[in-house]
Amino acid sequence: MENNKATLGEFIIENQKHYKSTTGEFSRLLSSIKLAAKIVNHEVNKAGLVDIMGAAGATNIQGEDQQKLDVYANDVFMKTLINREIVCGVASEEEDDFVTICGKDGSNQNKYVVLIDPLDGSSNIDVNVSVGTIFSIYKRVTPIGAPVELKDFLQPGNQQVAAGYVVYGTSTMLVYTSGYGVNGFTLNPALGTFYLSHPEFRFPENGKIYSINEGNYVHFPQGVKDYLKYCQEEKEDRPYTSRYIGSLVSDFHRNMIKGGIYIYPTSFIGPKGKLRLLYECNPMAFLAEQANGTASDGYGRILDIEPTELHQRVPFFCGSKNMVAKAEEFMAKYPEDA
Ligand code: P6P
């Protein structure tokens, strides 16, 4: 019965002592993300019944076909965060540039910016496989009230004040960290309430699942090819199990519960990999480290990368510490691939 579990709203209030915000602004921000997640969830859950699936005809800055739910999810988060003046700016995978309401009049005194992938894994929508929203929250570095600038968004991941995801799967969960561990909340759709179902997520120390699109094998760096051979050989606790959903949030979520590594490396197709640093890798890396896991670009800590562009891509190795460490060992044998 949920009645003995805290709701997300109660949890946010109980943990206000952790948030450096004394005005309740941070709590309002988390509550707004909760609201947007419920609205998007409602549409995702009925996508098969109404004509909201399929490409919206437009393409985003990544050159990817925008699925109608992509566009819808982006609109919902923009309306919830910008129109209601909860934050001073938002950068989104679906927007070429950041969006802000901090005009020159200095009226907007908000101090947070949000970076978001409104609907990650959207190519799975039409085949009824789970998708997710990923968010990353920073304090602005420019003066409060002044116009927001790109440098408010180009901060290293180690400056995040919070990060999380919503996974729209067999059940809808909101999972987030504000630097004090990772907690998961499951939505009761009948009540429209998220309940604390997974307190204190922790990656199992020794994972045995690897998640990678082996269709790109011939294009992988040699270090990744060697690591995959290591995972597949019959020795010690191996062969490991291969599981790949094609939805970062879902693969990450499973690996955090069962132990495992997710890899999206560089390849001939994507010389910097495919995943975006600011609104995919950094938030997932913050969650991973807060859940006793780790996240690397194959050579160094994801959270220490100094961003240069809003939509820049980086290679991504994330999950159980033992597996990421072993993958980095193989990558280190080929420094020319760095
Ligand atoms: P591929 C979805 O587009 C995404 O960004 C991640 O959610 C997912 O893990 C990856 O790309 C899938 O990419 O090239 O294997 O189809």
Residue 195 has pLDDT above 50, yes or no: yes
What are the beta bridge partners of residue 262? 211, 318
CATH level 3 topology of 8-200: Fructose-1,6-Bisphosphatase; Chain A, domain 1 (3.30.540)
Residue with tokens 């992938």: 117
End-to-end CA distance of the chain: 51
**What residue ranges line ligand 1, CB within 6 angstroms?**
120-121, 123, 213, 246-248, 251, 274-275
The residues spanned by each domain of the chain are 8-200, 209-334
Encode burial over 126-138: b for 16+ CB neighbours within 10 A, e otherwise: eeeebbbbbbbbb
Provide the 8-state DSSP code for 206: S
Query: Mean pLDDT for the chain?
Result: 92
Please give the average per-residue pLDDT across 95-102, as a whole number: 89
Q: In this structure, what token pair is assigned to residue 338? A: 């760095």
Residue 262 has pLDDT above 80, yes or no: yes
Give residue 11 CA to ligand 1 midpoint distance, Å: 32
Comparing CA positions, the residue from 225, 256, 224 lying closest to residue 243 is 256
Give residue 274 CA to ligand 1 midpoint distance, Å: 7
- Arch. (CATH architecture) of 209-334: 3-Layer(aba) Sandwich (3.40)
Report whether 213 belongs to an annotated binding site: yes
Residue-wise pLDDT for 2-42, tens only, equals 667 899 999 998 888 777 666 789 999 999 999 999 999 99
Report whether 279 belongs to an annotated binding site: no
Report whether 120 belongs to an annotated binding site: yes
**Who contacts 215 (Cβ-Cβ below 8 Å, separation ≥6)?**
none
C-alpha distances out from residue 204 to 55, 208, 288, 294, Å: 38, 10, 11, 12
C-alpha distances out from residue 156 to 262, 276, 282, Å: 21, 13, 8
Please give the average per-residue pLDDT across 155-179, as a whole number: 97
Judging by DSSP bridges, how do beta strands 131-139 and 112-120 pair with one another?
antiparallel
Residue nearest to atom 14 of ligand 1 (CA): 213
